[in-house]
Structure 1
Amino acid sequence: MNRLFTYFVVGSMILGVLVGWIVNVTMPTEGAAAVADNLTIITDVFLRLIKMIIAPLVFATLVAGIAHMEDAGAVGRIGVKTMGWFITASIVSLTIGLIMVHILKPGTGLNLTLPDAGTTGAAVDTAKFTLRDFITHLVPKSIVEAMANNEILQIVVFSVFVGTAVAAIDDKAPAVLALVEQVAQIMLKVTGYVMTTAPLAIFAALAATISTQGIEVLWTYVKFIGGFYLSLGILWALLIGAAVIIIGPRALKLIAAVRQPTLLAFSTASSEAAYPRTLDALQQWGVSRKVASFVLPLGYSFNLDGSMMYCTFATLFIAQVYGIEMSVAQQVTMLGLLMVTSKGMAGVPRASLVVIAATLAYFDLPEAGLLLILTVDHILDMGRSATNVIGNTVASAVVAKWEGQIQDPEEGPAKT
């Protein structure tokens, strides 16, 4: 069944590109736009279904995972290890993007008609990325409001408090714990229903993009796209290599186990869409439920490896296009700025673009340069979304290894 689903996903990708190309070359611009607009109804509904699932699923799985831990000390211990890995991975991701854009120089000599100097890149609110606003935004005013807005960071904070409180009670509040576990199981079943529509959503998303922008959108910025994907490949190699060193050769089976959620994230350009299947794949591979349910939601807020690499790569690409040289001190400062601002990307529409816009403004780079990457942002978002899945998968497995919470399914069920 899993293999059949993979075939459906791959087939829908191929069919989507083909149909989009046919519409683009056979219909006038207005007609193609109308077709694309109708196709996006399917993708919008699918992503809304995914967002409908995320809040209750994250809350239930995180509370249950923490409640099953021995004590509050276990929560703190795992939390420190998890954040240590996230910070290290963030530094590596940002640095690779910085180094590769200097080596490849994708923006140097690019013959493009630049927008007027007074044109703004996008209507984005960069004020939300101040340190004060980011820290205060972590704590929800209302958990109902946080869930209604899919504020993952706030849901995680509330879930950590609830899960820790349940774990601190002598009998672990069995009725509450049983309810939370049942909610998690129900939401996983709902997720299964939603995921059966994924191939249709993938087809619609690709067909709509190609219909309006044409097949040439895949080649518009060959050097930029190719350079970024090469950088992602290097990051993948480092992440997988680190997993093999820490966990052992069996880590390669984990990467194979998450190929479906990775492909889903790539096709839909949404790492959120892959969350439920990634969580399931981790537990099937052998990561304990309490570690997977704790690390993975945090990863979706703090460990967006692909998105962080994109921020450095795209910002310096824009600087190269305009022939602007940034000093070493400025680039180091940029890495520190992105380290903080990228942690607020979860749940923000076109989050990477917002972070890049904030970075451009901070360093007085032309904000109109944001227009240069808008055309291919969806193509690049596919790669960074898939990388986010791999990064969070590796993080969960590594922390589980450090905690002794990995069990080979062939030897029996995973620990809980």
Structure 2
Amino acid sequence: MAMTASTGDIPDTIRAKAKPWYKVLYVQVLFAIVLGVIIGWLSPHFATNEWIKALGDGFVKLIKMVIAPIIFCTVVSGIAHIQDARKVGRVGVKALVYFEVVSSFALIIGLVVGNLFPVGHGLAAKPDAAAVAKYVDQASHMKAVDFVLHIIPDSVVGAFAQGDILQVLLFAVLFGFALLTLGERGHRVRDVIDDCAHAVFGVIAIVMKAAPIGAFGAMAFTIGKYGPAALSNLIGLVLLFYATAALFVFVVLGAIAKFVGFNIFKFIGYIKDELLIVLGTSSSESALPQLMEKLERLGCSKSVVGLVVPTGYSFNLDGTNIYMTLATLFIAQALGVELTFTHQLAILLVAMLTSKGASGVTGAGFITLAGTLAAVNPALVPGMAIVFSIDKFMSEVRALTNITGNGVATVFVSWWEGELDHDKLKAALNNRVDPSDVETAVTTG
């Protein structure tokens, strides 16, 4: 089966070969998540076994294993396929403008909701600074100059070995521009890279078959370790964060989607596989390769997808932004620290910087929170322990919001650049296509 390159319509062969419901990936992942919750609740001793935890950790590692080569291949190919080198810079500027505007909305919404619903007041919790010492230590090194220098890898091999997205992205951009100057020889190298991308997507298609196992292990361990009672004294913050994230997705991102010409609910339905994988693993990186492939299938140009999605994973973390402002206000309220308008404006500006470079890995939002608190008011840093126990439950929503925001951003920039195939967009959002068939829908541009 294959997608038709010219019209973007869904061939009859795909409709005819629709899988039974129990073989569809998102159904399997959903059942695995529910089973993980049940096992974690009824048998916490079994669920916290190191081998159960290894199921979730192992799946995330399998995905992270291919993220660096996927980003390299897609970015290089995207740039090399562009005849005008100025277009790369134009797309990059448009993406960064979008990221800053939408990220500001996310930060402001977090501040507004945190002030309207001060759920931290009167919280009977004692901070334990030792519990968050490692995060505070990492945050202490988050200086602007260090962040900029860290983007430059000590070696290309090291960037791939460590899986550092920004470092790989930098080298890929430089390599792609280099291919533009090689003429016909560059085209031959580009074709090889395109073929490598097909092979890596084939690896992803194999790895994704283990997604239900990974989701089960991650969710069972989480519930088994923290238990339903973990939310008892902080249920207000959790629900408030969930509601704020939903408000941002359906109102802010929904308005952007409507402006471009698609429905946010249909878009969420289209990427439901990726959202469920993120829900089970608490890592938006676990769905990055599949998201890039599906956005191309949605009608976004290959070059825009290759540039916007990897960049967005470091510069467009809407869920993390909401979490940082909301959690900062919550901690200040819980500790009885008064934050004036000037302080809150400082939170907005500092969070705009500290959120950059945070990846989709679990715990990154907590590290950026430490950096924000330390910069705004060091007296707030020990209060991180108050939200430490429930950070796992909030990280899922951070990751879900991040991946949805990056998906919408890619569609918007493609539309802004005039390279969004509206026929493909409508066909993909209005037809059922098995999204687990990754290897059949990758195109070479």
> TM exceeds 0.5?
yes
How many angstroms apart in 1 are the aligned matches of 2:219 and 2:266? 29
- Aligned partner of 2:127 in structure 1 is 115
| Deviation of 1:60 (Å) | 0.5
What letter is aligned with 2:32?
A: S
1:19 lines up with 2:19 in the alignment? no
| Deviation of 1:251 (Å) | 5.8
Change (3 A) 1:264 1:218: farther
| Deviation of 1:167 (Å) | 2.4
1:366 pairs with one of 380, 385, 395: 380
How many angstroms apart in 1 are the aligned matches of 2:124 and 2:295? 46
1:65 lines up with 2:78 in the alignment? yes
How many angstroms apart in 1 are the aligned matches of 2:267 and 2:110? 25
Do the aligned partners of 1:72 and 1:168 also contact (CA within 8 Å) in 2? no
1:56 lines up with 2:56 in the alignment? no
Map 1:110-259; keep pairs closer than 5 Å: 110-112=123-125, 114-115=126-127, 119=130, 121-123=132-134, 124-171=137-184, 173-249=186-262, 252-259=265-272
How many angstroms apart in 2 are the aligned matches of 1:280 and 1:183? 14
| Deviation of 1:250 (Å) | 5.5
- Aligned partner of 2:10 in structure 1 is none
Q: Percent identity?
A: 34
- Aligned partner of 1:10 in structure 2 is 30
1:96 lines up with 2:109 in the alignment? yes
- Aligned partner of 2:11 in structure 1 is none
Change (3 A) 1:349 1:6: closer
More displaced, 352-361 or 83-92?
Answer: 352-361
Question: For structure 2, which runs of at least 5 residues remain unmatched after alignment?
Answer: 1-18, 429-440
- Aligned partner of 1:344 in structure 2 is 357
2:409 pairs with one of 395, 398, 404: 395
How many angstroms apart in 2 are the aligned matches of 1:53 and 1:88? 31
- Aligned partner of 1:406 in structure 2 is 420
How many angstroms apart in 2 are the aligned matches of 1:115 and 1:398? 42
| Deviation of 1:209 (Å) | 1.5
- Aligned partner of 1:377 in structure 2 is 391
How many angstroms apart in 1 are the aligned matches of 2:407 and 2:304? 11
1:308 lines up with 2:321 in the alignment? yes
How many angstroms apart in 1 are the aligned matches of 2:364 and 2:427? 42
Change (3 A) 1:343 1:73: same
- Aligned partner of 2:3 in structure 1 is none
Do the aligned partners of 1:36 and 1:207 also contact (CA within 8 Å) in 2? no
How many angstroms apart in 1 are the aligned matches of 2:71 and 2:43? 39
| Deviation of 1:181 (Å) | 0.6
More displaced, 368-377 or 358-367?
Answer: 358-367
- Aligned partner of 1:270 in structure 2 is 283
Change (3 A) 1:303 1:32: same
Do the aligned partners of 2:320 and 2:402 also contact (CA within 8 Å) in 1? yes
| Deviation of 1:95 (Å) | 0.8
Change (3 A) 1:415 1:52: closer
Change (3 A) 1:191 1:219: farther
Change (3 A) 1:224 1:262: same
How many angstroms apart in 2 are the aligned matches of 1:300 and 1:248? 24
| Deviation of 1:371 (Å) | 1.2
Do the aligned partners of 1:66 and 1:75 also contact (CA within 8 Å) in 2? yes
| Deviation of 1:399 (Å) | 0.5
Question: For structure 1, which runs of at least 5 residues remain unmatched after alignment?
Answer: 25-30
What letter is aligned with 2:331?
A: I
More displaced, 368-377 or 339-348?
Answer: 339-348
Per-residue deviation, residues 58-113 of structure 1 (Å, max 9, x unmatched): 1001110111112111001111101100111111111111111111112112122x
How many angstroms apart in 2 are the aligned matches of 1:348 and 1:261? 15
When normalised by structure 2's length, the TM-score is: 0.86
How many angstroms apart in 1 are the aligned matches of 2:25 and 2:427? 27
When normalised by structure 1's length, the TM-score is: 0.92
| Deviation of 1:328 (Å) | 1.2
| Deviation of 1:404 (Å) | 1.5
More displaced, 189-198 or 401-410?
Answer: 401-410
Do the aligned partners of 1:58 and 1:155 also contact (CA within 8 Å) in 2? yes
